[in-house]
Amino acid sequence: MSEPKQLSSTSLIRLVAGREISTRLRDKNFLISTAVLLILIIGVMVFQVLVNSGSSSSTIGVVGSSRNVEQVLVAQGNLQGTDVEVRSLSSEAAARMAVDDGDVDAAVIDPEGSDPRLIVQKSGGSEERLVQGAVAALSTADQLQQANVALEPPPTVAVVPLEPGGEDRTQATVVAIVGVGLLYFLLILFGQFVAQGVVEEKSSRVVELLLATMKPWQLLAGKILGLGLLGLGQIVILGVVGTAGAIAFDVVDVPGQVIGTVVSVVLWFVIGYALYASIFAVAASLVSRQEDLGSVLTPTTILLVVGFVIAIQAAGDPTSTLATVTSFVPGLSPLVMPVRMAAGAAQWWEVVVAVALMLVAIGLIVRLGGRVYAGALLRTGGKIKMREALQAERA
């Protein structure tokens, strides 16, 4: 009779990962949390639709205005559901000052001429569509008044942002905050799933049977991979539902920004989960009872809370020293950097450096944590110190 075939490391890891996925898919808490998150996302979109259904307001300054200009701007605003107030300004310099001081939302120069220009604080606002529509209407009306003159395409409004290269990324920043909040919740949720699984296996002595057929690092890798795939699937589903709903219900004005922000949050979840899941698993291996789990997970949970608080602060001031520095700190960067990226405050090289630092940190945690995990996994009783676990692993 031939001996049973020895499974490869890949097969063992896949088996553990499959077991973790099937176990959690039958877990009512996981299913309920997913349903609650979907309801919350749909509820936010419905709320936005109800808010946007009301009319907004905009103040447009005009240099070289006439009564026709004011009437057309108001009419164009009505078509877009916006109450428009028109203010006459004396010169382009006065227009720039009014926009910079916030007295008007935008200022149009020579709207009835051949070279109209729109002064805004940042490009991408709704005033651009409003003024372009008004200028087109004025041009069409002027041409129709001329006998035997063929209609010509209306002039295109040249947008002159006072902040060169600036772009209104408010919606992307809001989406990033929502995404980071979701990321924060999922990192804690799936980190605790990993930790609880480790303690359950230790307390029930199931781990002794598992380690008879596989190595500790294979068990750890399978747990992290299985729950990671489940978490990735969950955040992708939530992201797709949220993005598709926002675009379908016309909640966002710049879909490209929102899609890019959602993709970045998903990718940062992958990196952040790899780090935190390893830390949670290693910490959980130091105890043998669920009652003791909170004491070893608290420091990591506090780090996540700090990262989330800083991310909220970064939404208001993404170029602050605190936001900039913490976006490079491993453990904090998965929560802070997506917000800075959405706000347009992070250069490409900053993102590359932050990712590289996270990968280095993951490598160190996995290497050191794997040794602690291997040394502490078969030790039962009270809480084990990390030094004792390392000594047991070497022995």
Q: Domain locations in the chain?
A: 9-48+169-394, 55-161
Instruction: Tell if the pTM clears 0.75, that is, is over it.
Output: no
pLDDT higher than 80, residue 335: yes
pLDDT higher than 90, residue 106: no
E-strand ranges in 51-194 read 56-63, 82-89, 106-109, 117-120, 158-161
Residue 334: its pLDDT value, please? 93
3-state SS, residue 337: helix
Q: Burial, 14: exposed, middle or buried (Cβ in 10 Å; 0-12, 13-18, 19+)?
A: middle
Is residue 84 within 8 Å of 77, Cβ to Cβ?
Answer: yes
Please compute the mean of the pLDDT values over residues 276-303 and round it to a whole number. Answer: 85
The CATH code belonging to domain 55-161 is 3.40.190.10
Spatial distance between the Cα atoms of 327 and 336, rounded to a whole number of angstroms? 5
Letter string b/e over residues 82-121, b meaning 16 or more CB atoms within 10 A of that residue's CB = bebebeebeebeebbbbbeeeebbbbbbbbbeeebbbbbb
* 171-213 residue pLDDT tens: 777 778 888 888 898 888 888 888 888 888 777 777 777 777 8
**CA-to-CA separations, 271 to 142, 321, 330, 334, in angstroms, rounded:** 59, 23, 10, 7
Residue 392: its pLDDT value, please? 65
Is residue 106 within 8 Å of 131, Cβ to Cβ?
Answer: yes
Residue 1: its pLDDT value, please? 43
Is residue 86 within 8 Å of 73, Cβ to Cβ?
Answer: yes
pLDDT higher than 50, residue 27: yes
* 143-173 residue pLDDT tens: 666 655 555 666 667 766 665 555 556 777 7
Of residues 135 and 395, more confidently modeled: 135
